[in-house]
Structure 1
Amino acid sequence: METGARELVAPDFLSLTIGIVFFFVGVLITQRVEFLRRYSIPEPVTGGFVAALVFWALHIIFRVDVGFDMTTRDKLLVIFFATVGVNARLADLAAGGRVLGILCLVTVAFVFLQDTVGTVGAVLLGMPKAAGVVAGSMSLVGGHGTAIAWGPTIAAEHGFPAALESGIAVATVSLIIASLLGGPLAKFLIERNQVAVPGTDPEDGELPPEADAAPIDKMGVMRAMLAVNVAVILGYLAHAWLTETTGITLPLFVPCLIAGILLSNTVPVLLPRLRWPAHTPALELLSSYALSIFLAMSLMSMQLWTLAGSAADLFLLVAVQTVVAATYIVLVVFPALGQNYQAAVLSGGFTGLSLGSTPTAIASMSAITKRYGPSPNAFVILPLVSAFFVDIVNVGAITLFLRL
């Protein structure tokens, strides 16, 4: 925040309400802009980015910096991944096991490629070599969380005092790019390779009927909420146990996702007469709400004015990393995953994995499947890769390149 600017922080409930408002702003804009529909740009991305521009204008004109309490936003992320778990069936996961393994391998290779590109670019631009990690997997694959965690250490020990600020700036710019790139890239892969899709891609650019247009009753919603809440409770307990007894620290959404999977594959077997909410419009409603509002709130909270003072060299590195990521997806990820519809959906999500965050990846895949048709395994495979493998590999890659 610049000197002289007044800071206002919206409380949690107001922050949630503002997020909902700008989600609908995104919906209205998407309905009127054919480009956004054709290239599957998620409505909350559009609305959240418009909000960020509005708050940037408030900063410039009135010298007011608007911040937000994001307590509910973080809970929505956990709820969303619990719905993904409740919707998952082991039979589907077994069918996607080979794809899961391949995606792990290509992701690991990409993390090291990203740091190699960043380090070489930093050296060529005359920057400290540690800047290559900051403009590499630390901020791109790792996102804001990893940038904040590693920034002070790099600033203190590796000759790059602006590591924290630069990491946050790089993560913010790449998040915007990832939000806009996933849909167009998947569309390119589907159309260039004439991939067979389960839905219809109307030539006039209109979206197919939304899932939440299906009949939804009160009991269905209540069953879905109960299943999701139980999965979240079990996930919280598992997360606390892992942290206290093993020292393993995972994002909270991971055990909640796994708890949902376990519930969805045991409860219907043990209680066959119970109406389990998997693959119901009610569960889809909860899932869509949680993800949409999470993403809108995340993007609206970006303080875009903080990017103006960032070094142009860092943004040049981000541009190069974007080209490398897109090329890698087209030439490596999509062919390795089978060049089918699921591969195209995962490739669209890989933009979020490589340049943004897991929620960004899920939002891109949601927009893609909303236009072309369902690909349920993709929504389980990619979060498992991003949660279990990427963070561990990223720590190793960052450590290695800082020591070189």
Structure 2
Amino acid sequence: MTEIKIEGADVIIITVLVWFLGSFINRKLPTLERFNIPVAVTGGFLISLIVAILYQTQDVKITFDMALRDKMILVFFSTIGLTAKFKLLASGGKALLILTLIAGLFLILQDIVGVGIASALGANPGYGLFGGSVSFAGGFGTAVSWGNIAQEAGLTGATEIGIMFATLGLIVGGIIGGPAAKFLIDRNKLQPSAEDLEQQSAKSEKHIELSMKEKVRAVLGTLLTLAICVQLGSFVNDYLSGYNVTLPGFLTAMLVAIIITNSVDLFKVKLSKDAIDIAQEISLQLFLCVSLMSMQLWIFTGTLGPVVLVTLAQTIMMVFFAVFVVFRLLGRDYQAAVICSGFIGLGLGATPVGIANMNAVTVKHGPSPKAFILVPLVGAFFLDLMNAAIIQLFLQFLN
């Protein structure tokens, strides 16, 4: 076995090239563009497929250093926090409450499906939780964390199984979110509201070209702020760990960012919205590219049948839930359709996948400001907290 590990600047170079590859393929295959498949999903999945073929046919194992991915997720959620003004939280209002409750119901259904299939196949029901909200809604971090705990309790291979489901969820969530929104938009002849279109137009008209000095100041100020968010978030995690309190790194970084952005408002200090938006998009695209291109698809070989069966069942359940519950309860309008694409992404993969889905939809069909407030808030704040509580509830029931 020849092992090749790609590290450092090489990872950055390849990641950016993968993004351009995905962009090229999407342009050449209009179907991908038409169904709003994110560029990073196209390029990243193709590379992971090539890596898997080399592993199976040439006995060559290629792995990537995950430092870039891990750092980009912290930066991404820091940018989310920097845009989370308290007045925006208030503006979420009733819709935010509804989407949060819907998400809680979905997590329960996801675990019921996972545990039900595991039991029907004669497997330990505990594995069903990894085929449920632990890996799909929870993503890689939750799957690994709970996997280690489950393995210590005697659930052999729980971590690997969790990673399998999280990997497939990342792919499927990125593939079906856009088409689902397109289906709702086309079927119901939906379009952005006149007010949202006017606001977008007004923003474009009000855009003022900054001098080079002002641009440098904005970019450096944003980089400094993001670095502070990431570093202080790490300090908070280290402090809490001393009290046996474990929180995901992205959550503490985002909480620090929220405190910072609302604090600077009190002192009339303005952060560059344009620079934050650019940092958000770049960190999101890099995170998705690295996550997808580094997937070790060959790990599915031994348990491919049950894993695909569970993933298929979860995907079908998700689509029906998004179309018949999320879309209807959130108003059956254009913004509800965009939220559905984001909900599918975060429910099967991760919040960044949901954001990427919504980006792909809105770039083609028009703005949806409410979606970009509600989905990140639910995905970053409430989903993980509810998921932890629901997993504990199911564990007590299964025991």
Distance 1:293 1:399 in 2: 33
Structure 1 position 46 matched with structure 2 position 39: no
Pick one of 94, 103, 121 that aligns with 1:107: 103
Deviates more, 1:356-365 or 1:20-29: 356-365
Structure 1 position 62 matched with structure 2 position 55: no
Pick one of 1, 6, 9 that aligns with 2:2: 6
Tell me the alpha carbon deviations over residues 191-222 of structure 1, each in whole angstroms, 9 at most, x when there is no partner. Answer: 222223259xxxxxxxxxxx9x9967643254
Pick one of 161, 164, 184 that aligns with 2:159: 164
Q: Cα offset for 1:338? A: 2.1
Contact 2:237-2:249 within 8 A present in 1 as well:
no
Distance 1:152 1:259 in 2: 28
Distance 1:63 1:176 in 2: 25
Within 5 Å, which residues of 2 pair with 1:3-402?
A: 5-157=1-153, 160-197=155-192, 218=212, 219-220=214-215, 222-234=217-229, 236-241=231-236, 243-245=238-240, 247-267=244-264, 270-271=267-268, 276-278=271-273, 280=274, 282-402=275-395
Contact 1:183-1:368 within 8 A present in 2 as well:
yes
Contact 2:181-2:361 within 8 A present in 1 as well:
yes
What's the secondary structure of 1:72's corresponding residue? helix
Distance 1:57 1:250 in 2: 37
Deviates more, 1:367-376 or 1:224-233: 224-233
Distance 1:46 1:215 in 2: 34
Distance 2:128 2:142 in 1: 15
**Unaligned stretches of 5+ in structure 1?**
200-210
Percent identity among equivalent residues?
A: 37
Distance 1:11 1:96 in 2: 41
Deviates more, 1:249-258 or 1:137-146: 249-258
Q: Cα offset for 1:53? A: 1.4
Contact 2:18-2:44 within 8 A present in 1 as well:
yes
Contact 2:19-2:39 within 8 A present in 1 as well:
yes
Contact 1:86-1:261 within 8 A present in 2 as well:
yes
Q: Cα offset for 1:249? A: 3.0
Q: Residues 217 and 74 (structure 1 numbering): CA distance in 2 closer, same or farther, change over 3 Å?
A: farther
Distance 2:248 2:303 in 1: 29
Contact 2:174-2:345 within 8 A present in 1 as well:
yes
Name the count of aligned residue pairs: 383
Q: Residues 165 and 70 (structure 1 numbering): CA distance in 2 closer, same or farther, change over 3 Å?
A: closer
Q: Cα offset for 1:50? A: 1.1
CA RMSD in angstroms comes to 2.6
Task: Name the amino acid aligned to 1:252.
Answer: G
TM-score by length of 2: 0.87
**Unaligned stretches of 5+ in structure 2?**
195-203
Q: Cα offset for 1:252? A: 2.7
Contact 1:236-1:255 within 8 A present in 2 as well:
no
Q: Which has the higher helix share?
A: 2
